A and B are shown apart, each in its own frame.
Chain A
Amino acid sequence: MIEKWALSDPELPALIFAGEKITYSQLNREVNRVANGLTALGIKKGDRVAIMLPNIPEFVYSFFAILRIGAVAVPFNTLYKGGEILHILEDSGSKALISLTNFAPMINELIPELPELEHVILTGERNLIFAHPESTVFIQLILQKNQMEDLDHAYGRIGNLMLDIVRSLGVDDPWYKHRGSIRVRGDKIAAFVISEIEDMYLINVIVFLTPLDINDFLRVVWVPHEIRDKMLEPLTSVQEEAGERPSWDRIKECVTRRVEKEFGVEITDGNLVRDELFGYEKLRSLAYKDR
């Protein structure tokens, strides 16, 4: 059907997204490109491909590309979390999932339980991180890849390290199974994602220190009232589990000691050096540029 219009009215706009027109002819070509891309990954007739995307052009390209290959599209709600996603991917036996980059931490955690899922394809710049002076601490590690055997090893090692850190902050019974979430019961207390850039791993960790009140944030990024409770996964915090919020000094001490022990290194206070300051200023000015 898209092909039909692409032939008869190539310049007819099919989609308008962020003020830009995408014609039927362009759409048809994009669908073909995605169909070829998926085929190159080994997706073939009858395979299930899940889509967890909002209404962005990539949804449209992916959906019709899947149909063009003769594969089966499994679109599902972008508000789904944990067990809900797991059920759909497991039940459908999806071979690939096309999703947003910001859902990666959530999906990562499920991968080891989904042997049929071969590819996770990510798009979009829709990250949303809430930072609260009391409630959140961000821990980041930048190290060379050769300090870890492979990605599974890295996830295992950092997971156990974080488990140890959370425990040392006074949390009684945290657990870690795989890929990215430290939980107490079914609730998340800390999460991390490992990214790779050239020969480095960048590990981003967030730990929840006190309950996170997201109401202020929702004034800035509007979310319909009805789905506000579905924005976040069920969370808990160090304060709720250990009875008190640890001081910054204690956090510094706990984290530093445990990283030192885990990697057998000595950690000393430092700061950015010259080459890095250029990058720092550039990134900050981009971050606060008027839009």
Chain B
Amino acid sequence: MKWRIFSRKKGKKRWRLIFRPRGDVSDIMALPGAVVEGRVAGRYLLSSTGFQSTLIIQGVAKKGVLAGVDVSVDREAVEKYQIDIAYQPRSGRAGLRPAGTISFEDMVLDASDRFEPPTNDPEDLACIIYTSGTTGPPKGVMLSRKNFLKVQEFTQKVIKLGKGDQIVGVLPFFHVFGLSNVLIGGLVHGATILLVPQYNPTTLLKTITENNTSFLMAIPTMFLHLLRLLRRRGSRLPHTMRLCVSGGAPLPQEIIEQFKEKSGIRLIEGYGLTETTSSCCLNPPEGISKPGSIGLPLPGIEMKVCDEEGNELPPGKVGEIAVKGESVMMGYYNLPQETKESIKDGWLFTGDLGYCDDEGYFFLTDRKKEIIIKGGFNISPREVEEVLLSYPPIKEAAVLARKRGEREEIVAFVVAEKGTEEKEIINHCQRYLASFKVPDAIQFRDVLPKTITGKVMKTQLKDGYKDRRKIERGGSDWKD
């Protein structure tokens, strides 16, 4: 009897607890790492103590960041804000790999560097890129090998890339602009791409100045950041730079001029969609760039402006912009109906509203689906946004419609200086806008939700917007 009780107690395994509520941030990695290494090494060396399961409970005494070795950290800020920063050593032999996954490095470890590719048809599907629509889940845009090659051919007629060119690869390659115009565009023509995996303005400027950079494609926000940085430092961009191209979101006119003046480099604006494998319209690098224009269709691309029935409109008339050419997508993945609605007789209807001038330059006004209809009038949110932005305390603005009972209301979401009041904003609008266009309500925000290229995501400002990043208990599909 006595023996059995003793045995049961003895038989209960003992685990060890390491409790450190006020450790350093490095302990989060070093404590379990030490137990693991001790176990691995202990088998061959030193003591023969058996492995003991270990529970560690820890917290930190001061704010800290534990970063992978590839993360770039601002050392000055670390000192200034007293942040404890520790690096995770590169995972080696006893490396931490989430169970059930494959390491990229292991996958290629013993792989041959010769490969016999199968015959690939240029018309084959090569890539699916998802774009968020105004409604519903993101749609997969199907692009073929030919789409990618054609867009390079068309763009090359305007922007001549070649051996010896160094292009900044700061636009993310998962986005069509970076993928098609920078990565594929550069490699097709034998250029060198300077990879920037983690954008910040200082790194971007450093990348440009420390190489023989000739070419920068970026989004408006990045040009704005660069401009501020050049201004602060009183410096210019190196003379090896030939051209800067902006796309992805509308580029404010004053930035184009100020950028040219400060940097000494010409900045031109272009236009493209995922559905057109990126660029389809560009201001000519030499010759006339028109203020506010997205430029001329690339050679090989046709563009027109259409009315509701799809009839072509004469210059100066606002309608939907349509694009035709061999860089137009194959369609939306698994969505034949949506494909049929957007591509008619080879013309892709972009959903962007705009017009064309007598010389063939295109101008954008609004997104078709964002037009506000109030009391029978069509109101351009862009027009209202421009008036709002002309009021100095307002930094960002997005205008959309909201249902209030039977009525449509205009709501303006603004990022403004502290202390700015609704009344003064409304007064400003009343001075420059017809009364039916004046916002009915102003909502102040710290920041407006934006896409990776800097376009405001108006859907996220609408009533009843559902955060798709969340995972709900009952499943997380897009059907409401």
- Nearest 7 pairs of A and B residues by beta carbon: A186-B470, A279-B37, A276-B38, A123-B104, A270-B16, A81-B469, A280-B34
User: In the complex, are the beta carbons of B26 and A193 less than 8 A apart?
Assistant: no
- The answer, yes or no, to whether A211 is at the interface (CB within 8 Å) is no
B270-314, CB under 8 A of A: which get 1 and which 0? 000000000000000000000000000000000000000000000
Within 8 A of B (CB), among A186-201: 186-187, 193-198, 200-201
Interface size on A, residues (CB 8 A): 160
The chain B residue with its CB closest to the CB of A268 is B14
Contact of B17 among A16, A63, A129, A268 (CB under 8 A): A268
Among B32, B85, B98, B198, the most chain A Cβ lie within 10 Å of the Cβ of B98
Known: A122-B101, A133-B62, A234-B469. A251 touches B192 (CB 8 A): no
Q: Does A170 contact B (CB under 8 A)?
A: no
Report if B7 contacts A (CB, 8 A).
Answer: no
* B316 proximal to A (CB < 8 A): no
Whole-angstrom distance between the Cβ of A255 and the nearest chain B Cβ: 6
B33 at the interface (CB under 8 A from A): yes
Residues facing B in A132-172 (CB within 8 A) are 132-133, 136-144, 147, 151, 154
Residue of A nearest to B83 (CB): A220
Q: Are B34 and A54 in contact (CB under 8 A)?
A: no
The prevalent SS among residues of A at the interface is: mixed
Q: Are A271 and B172 in contact (CB under 8 A)?
A: no
Q: Knowing A76-B174, A140-B31, A283-B30 touch, does A17 contact B195 (C-beta < 8 A)?
A: yes
Q: Which residues of B contact A289 (CB under 8 A)?
A: 87
B56 lies within 8 A of chain A by Cβ: yes
Q: A73 contacts the other chain (Cβ, under 8 Å)?
A: yes
Tell me which residues from 1 to 24 in chain A have a Cβ below 8 Å from any Cβ of chain B.
Answer: 1-2, 5, 9, 12-17, 24
A53 at the interface (CB under 8 A from B): yes
| Residues of chain B lying within 8 A (CB to CB) of residue A217 | 63, 65, 83
Q: CB of B193 within 8 A of chain A?
A: yes
Question: For A252, what are the chain B residues with a Cβ–Cβ distance below 8 Å?
Answer: 17, 19, 21, 57
Q: List 20 A-B contacts (CB under 8 A).
A: A13-B192, A16-B166, A31-B115, A38-B107, A60-B173, A67-B120, A74-B129, A88-B140, A111-B100, A126-B68, A137-B57, A142-B56, A185-B470, A193-B98, A197-B36, A200-B36, A221-B72, A256-B17, A267-B55, A283-B26
Shortest CB-to-CB span from A239 to chain B, Å, is: 14
Instruction: Tell whether B433 is near chain A: CB-to-CB under 8 Å.
Output: no
Interchain CB contact under 8 A, A15 and B195: yes
Check B13 for interface membership: any CB of A closer than 8 A: yes
Cβ 8 A contact of A9, one of B74, B85, B190: B190
Contacts of B129 on A, CB cut-off 8 Å?
74-76
Give min CB distance, A105 to chain B, whole Å. 8
- Please state if A271 and B69 are interface contacts (CB–CB under 8 Å): no
Contacts of B36 in A (CB 8 A): 142, 197, 200, 202, 279
